A and B are shown apart, each in its own frame.
Chain A
Amino acid sequence: MNARLGLAARAAFTLLLAWLVLYPIAIVVHDAAEGDALAAFVSRPGEWRVLWASVWISVASVALAAAIGVPLAFLFEWLEFPGRRTLGSLIALPAVLPPFVGVIAFLFLYGESGFVARAVQRLLGLEQAPWRLQGAGAILLVHAYSMYVYFYLFTRAGLAKLDASMLEAAQALGAGRWETLRRVTLPLLRPSLAGAALLVFMTAVGSFSAPYVFGGGFRVMTTQIVATKLNGELPLAMVETVALALVAVLGFALLRRTEGDDILTALGKGTAPRRRPIRRAGVRTFATTAGWVFAVVLLLPHLTLVLVSLVPYGTWTTETLPPVLSLVNYRRLFSEAERLRPLVNSVWMAAASTAAAVAVALVAGILVGRRRPWQFRGPIEVLLALPWALPGTVFALALLTTFSKHDPLTLRWVLVGTTVLLPLAYLVRNLPVTGRAVLAGYRQLDPALDEAAASLGAGRWATFRRVTLPLLKPALAAGGSLAFVAALGDFVASIVLYTPDNRPISIEIMSSLRVSELGVAAGFGVILMVLSALVLGVGARR
């Protein structure tokens, strides 16, 4: 590529990204500063309480997820017991459940009229349900269930990278087992733990489904924003959006600093410590049993969803278990075109937004994936990653505001009420996933491969088609499948931006619940879960 042309292309691409990612946020900040909404926000103690709730819920989520995920990771990475392999992969299952579907499954399982509550009520002969699944505790339960996976996976990956000889060196220098753990293992795991904490914090700050369904009177900022918007107080909603964005960015910056460099990869790798078999038979039996019980508990939400999806409308009232099971819900789903619409909508919007996000990431890779040239590389990388640091509600509201006005001179068009705004939101939300995957893939390519192709007579385009693209395929598949699944199960952006013409699955589930069509809601949930698992499975295959 001609150097000047390349520079121009990179500059143009940076501007396009800025328009997609930065501009809507800037407009929200600008609008929030105007008028008296800011004063209203500051003077209402309720607003501060909600903001504080967002913060502490997120911090508590991190602590809970770490408390479950980290010990599990040590257990599965360092000890050997029957069923370790199967259980080890089962334990990552909550990742396959889209957040909103997970919340619904929890509702069916542990909610007031869920299976567990009914069983306890029957068992103890109670008049009423033994508990109400509501408030902060319920939110934290769902968060812990769905987010410990990050700590589990990150810690296991970190442990697998540990060099056994480092631990042996510590022991040879006289450190006992606990001292080795405290002085060698944990410090070496810091980047993994900080990475997981960052991921959990960002997910928890932006979490919408759990507070929306289980919050009751307890509000966090994400649900507050949507409520304010529904109240018609759009300026106040924008101030709230900015406040939430600030919390997220602050948390991001703080945790990012502690993450540090990955010292383990910098040192090069040795062999991971060998797994120790548990010798005492009693302990081994206990560990195995506990492991399986835990796995069943983890699988219960998935099973619940399947079971409820088989319950025909109006047949299940006070019994502990549903008396009638049939496939009637699925039959109706697939035979009535109007019922199938949300599925079609979700699939096409997810596919289109994923294709676009992958394409944008590829262009970024072509322009700045290599070591040289460096111009605009930093800005492009930051813009691609930015949507990840901001909650989905923030982007939904920002896009809503930006594209509710016709002013081509400031690059604003009316897209509100059209079917393209929601997929556009999915696209922006998915840029970090595809961008990271593709840029990392590019960085792993040996530049000599390009030169080898050139020396064999392949031009720029032929090299891209015959060498770069095939080698990037795993990265594209991994990024693309994650993006697709995220868009398919999205609820946060959808509830703000959907129109009657592009109602996605999550909204349909919500309205089915509202008219008590639990079976239909669960059926959609199952379809979403199966589709997600399939796509993720295909994406992970090499």
Chain B
Amino acid sequence: MSAFVTLDEVRKQWSHTVAVGPLSLEIPRGEILVLLGPSGSGKTTVLRLLGGFEAPDAGRIVLAGEDVTAVPPARRRCGMVFQHYALFPHLDVGENVAFGLTGRRTHDPKVAEVLALVGLEGFERRRVQELSGGQQQRVALARALAPEPRVLLLDEPLSNLDPSLRERTRRELRALIKRVGITTIFVTHEQEEAFDLGDRVAVLRAGRLEQLATADELYEQPASLFVATFVGRANVLRGKLAQILGAGPGEVLVVRPERLTLADAGVPGVVRERRYTGAAAFYLVETEPGDRLEVLARPEAARVGDRVYLEAVRVLTFPEERA
């Protein structure tokens, strides 16, 4: 795997306590890499370092074999889609898209080409204020793609869309990026979005890379307690119950709701709440020592107040983290 984009021990210090890195990443040509993390994890900073809007304090950034660490954003040829799109309000759609083209003529065939690509044929003369949120997002994408950048950077571009639109948009977005074949780095704090969009997902926490893997690997083999709890739902157990279910001394046990079953024998408990989701139901089971566990099972498996027994199908264990 030869890297198209490389971050080599990149570090950016914001204040005495807040820093990003040192961080190393290698992204092959044509891959969609998602940077996933809670707010403050430094994912946007990594994106801005790639785009050249922030200068790293240490480390190297290599793009298509060229060291771009000191290259200003205007000469990096990275297409960027901003969180609030940053469309130029004084220009129409065509002028926005043509902004980065040499000659920047709106009748440049490239303008019509990228607008068609995002499904906005004939929108050249529209004012950007007249467009819906989804259309603005697509104009921002078309504008970023028009100058044929080497890398596409997306900063939570779907966070301003309403939820129903978001899911469809991200599938269309993935299909489009794959059709163009451009190497893409996508920032989000939503796990579902990351799994849907990314070839690989990099989980960041407090400026450090926790794990870089495919969605399946992240879910099934999380590298740390943080990844296990941040990616997907998880019951975190410590103490006696954890040891009963298979944790060693000083270990934390994580078990996902769908890996717990309501059985005839096992850990006894009482169903306290039931949350019906249609295909299944989440049951909140309180065990004897007072632990509360979330269990995913068939909708008719139990009722509130029932005495049940829990069995764990598969558990994950991690050493206790020192804060």
Q: Residues of A at under 8 Å CB distance from B? A: 446, 448-449, 451-460, 462, 466-467, 470-471, 473
Q: Residues of B at under 8 Å CB distance from A? A: 51-53, 72-80, 82-84, 86-90, 99-100, 143-144, 147, 149, 153
Q: A449-B88, A471-B90 are in contact. Are A455 and B80 (CB under 8 A)?
A: yes
- In the complex, what's the smallest C-beta–C-beta distance from B185 to chain A, in angstroms? 13
B147 touches A451 (CB 8 A): no
Identity of the chain A residue whose Cβ is nearest the Cβ of B80 in the assembled complex: A455
A455 touches B88 (CB 8 A): no
Identity of the chain A residue whose Cβ is nearest the Cβ of B84 in the assembled complex: A448
Q: A457-B74, A459-B74, A467-B88 are in contact. Are A451 and B99 (CB under 8 A)?
A: no
Report the bound CA distance from A453 to B144 in whole Å.
10
A451 touches B89 (CB 8 A): no
Return chain A residues, CB-CB under 8 Å to B75.
457
Report the bound CA distance from A452 to B90 in whole Å.
14
Q: Which single member of B73, B100, B143 contacts A451 (CB below 8 Å)?
A: B73
Q: Which single member of B73, B77, B79, B86 contacts A446 (CB below 8 Å)?
A: B86
Return chain A residues, CB-CB under 8 Å to B52.
454
Q: A458-B99, A466-B99, A471-B89 are in contact. Are A452 and B82 (CB under 8 A)?
A: yes
9 A-B interface contacts by CB (under 8 A): A446-B86, A448-B83, A448-B86, A449-B88, A453-B99, A454-B72, A454-B73, A454-B74, A456-B147
User: A-B pairs with CB below 8 Å: how many?
Assistant: 63
Q: Which single member of B79, B84, B87 contacts A455 (CB below 8 Å)?
A: B79
Return chain B residues, CB-CB under 8 Å to A446.
84, 86
A451 touches B74 (CB 8 A): no
Report the bound CA distance from A456 to B139 in whole Å.
14
Report the bound CA distance from A452 to B153 in whole Å.
11
Report the bound CA distance from A453 to B74 in whole Å.
8
Return chain A residues, CB-CB under 8 Å to B80.
451-452, 455
A452-B88, A458-B74, A459-B72 known; 7 new pairs, CB 8 Å cut-off, are A448-B82, A448-B84, A449-B86, A453-B99, A455-B51, A467-B88, A473-B90
Identity of the chain A residue whose Cβ is nearest the Cβ of B52 in the assembled complex: A454
Closest 10 CB pairs of A and B: A456-B100, A448-B86, A454-B73, A455-B80, A452-B86, A470-B90, A448-B82, A454-B74, A459-B74, A449-B86
Report the bound CA distance from A456 to B86 in whole Å.
12
Return chain B residues, CB-CB under 8 Å to A449.
86, 88
Return chain A residues, CB-CB under 8 Å to B100.
455-458
Return chain A residues, CB-CB under 8 Å to B83.
448
Q: Which single member of A454, A456, A462, A467 contacts B143 (CB below 8 Å)?
A: A456
Identity of the chain A residue whose Cβ is nearest the Cβ of B87 in the assembled complex: A452
Identity of the chain A residue whose Cβ is nearest the Cβ of B90 in the assembled complex: A470
- In the complex, what's the smallest C-beta–C-beta distance from B236 to chain A, in angstroms? 38
Identity of the chain B residue whose Cβ is nearest the Cβ of A462 in the assembled complex: B74
Identity of the chain B residue whose Cβ is nearest the Cβ of A466 in the assembled complex: B99
Q: Which single member of B51, B53, B89, B147 contacts A457 (CB below 8 Å)?
A: B147
Report the bound CA distance from A456 to B143 in whole Å.
8
Return chain A residues, CB-CB under 8 Å to B89.
471
B88 touches A454 (CB 8 A): no
Report the bound CA distance from A460 to B73 in whole Å.
10
Report the bound CA distance from A470 to B77 in whole Å.
24
Identity of the chain B residue whose Cβ is nearest the Cβ of A447 in the assembled complex: B86
- In the complex, what's the smallest C-beta–C-beta distance from A476 to chain B, in angstroms? 13
Q: A456-B99, A456-B100, A471-B89 are in contact. Are A451 and B84 (CB under 8 A)?
A: no
Return chain B residues, CB-CB under 8 Å to A455.
51, 73-74, 76, 78-80, 100, 144, 149, 153
Report the bound CA distance from A408 to B87 in whole Å.
51
- In the complex, what's the smallest C-beta–C-beta distance from A4 to chain B, in angstroms? 15
Return chain A residues, CB-CB under 8 Å to B153.
455
- In the complex, what's the smallest C-beta–C-beta distance from A344 to chain B, in angstroms? 35
Report the bound CA distance from A460 to B89 in whole Å.
19
Identity of the chain A residue whose Cβ is nearest the Cβ of B153 in the assembled complex: A455
A451 touches B90 (CB 8 A): no
A457 touches B82 (CB 8 A): no
- In the complex, what's the smallest C-beta–C-beta distance from A370 to chain B, in angstroms? 13
Identity of the chain B residue whose Cβ is nearest the Cβ of A454 in the assembled complex: B73
Report the bound CA distance from A451 to B84 in whole Å.
12
Return chain B residues, CB-CB under 8 Å to A466.
99
- In the complex, what's the smallest C-beta–C-beta distance from B183 to chain A, in angstroms? 15
Report the bound CA distance from A451 to B75 in whole Å.
12
- In the complex, what's the smallest C-beta–C-beta distance from A447 to chain B, in angstroms? 9
- In the complex, what's the smallest C-beta–C-beta distance from A374 to chain B, in angstroms? 15
Report the bound CA distance from A371 to B143 in whole Å.
27
- In the complex, what's the smallest C-beta–C-beta distance from B4 to chain A, in angstroms? 18
Return chain A residues, CB-CB under 8 Å to B84.
446, 448
- In the complex, what's the smallest C-beta–C-beta distance from A132 to chain B, in angstroms? 56
Return chain B residues, CB-CB under 8 Å to A467.
88
B88 touches A451 (CB 8 A): no
Among B51, B78, B88, B144, which residue has the most Cβ atoms of chain A within 10 A? B88
- In the complex, what's the smallest C-beta–C-beta distance from A441 to chain B, in angstroms? 13
Report the bound CA distance from A446 to B83 in whole Å.
12
Return chain B residues, CB-CB under 8 Å to A452.
80, 82, 86-88, 143
Identity of the chain B residue whose Cβ is nearest the Cβ of A459 in the assembled complex: B74
Return chain A residues, CB-CB under 8 Å to B73.
451, 454-455
- In the complex, what's the smallest C-beta–C-beta distance from B50 to chain A, in angstroms? 10
Report the bound CA distance from A35 to B75 in whole Å.
64
Among A457, A462, A466, A467, which residue has the most Cβ atoms of chain B within 10 A? A457
- In the complex, what's the smallest C-beta–C-beta distance from A323 to chain B, in angstroms? 56
B90 touches A454 (CB 8 A): no
Report the bound CA distance from A453 to B143 in whole Å.
10
- In the complex, what's the smallest C-beta–C-beta distance from B161 to chain A, in angstroms? 18
- In the complex, what's the smallest C-beta–C-beta distance from A6 to chain B, in angstroms? 15
- In the complex, what's the smallest C-beta–C-beta distance from A469 to chain B, in angstroms? 10
Report the bound CA distance from A268 to B116 in whole Å.
38
Return chain A residues, CB-CB under 8 Å to B78.
455
Return chain A residues, CB-CB under 8 Å to B149.
455
Report the bound CA distance from A451 to B144 in whole Å.
12
Report the bound CA distance from A446 to B89 in whole Å.
11
Return chain A residues, CB-CB under 8 Å to B79.
455-456
Identity of the chain A residue whose Cβ is nearest the Cβ of B78 in the assembled complex: A455
Report the bound CA distance from A54 to B135 in whole Å.
60
Report the bound CA distance from A453 to B87 in whole Å.
10
Report the bound CA distance from A95 to B13 in whole Å.
53
Identity of the chain B residue whose Cβ is nearest the Cβ of A473 in the assembled complex: B90
Report the bound CA distance from A449 to B96 in whole Å.
11
Report the bound CA distance from A458 to B88 in whole Å.
13
Identity of the chain A residue whose Cβ is nearest the Cβ of B95 in the assembled complex: A466
Report the bound CA distance from A425 to B78 in whole Å.
49
Report the bound CA distance from A462 to B153 in whole Å.
22
Return chain B residues, CB-CB under 8 Å to A460.
74
Report the bound CA distance from A456 to B87 in whole Å.
12
Report the bound CA distance from A460 to B84 in whole Å.
22
Report the bound CA distance from A264 to B79 in whole Å.
39
Report the bound CA distance from A229 to B24 in whole Å.
74
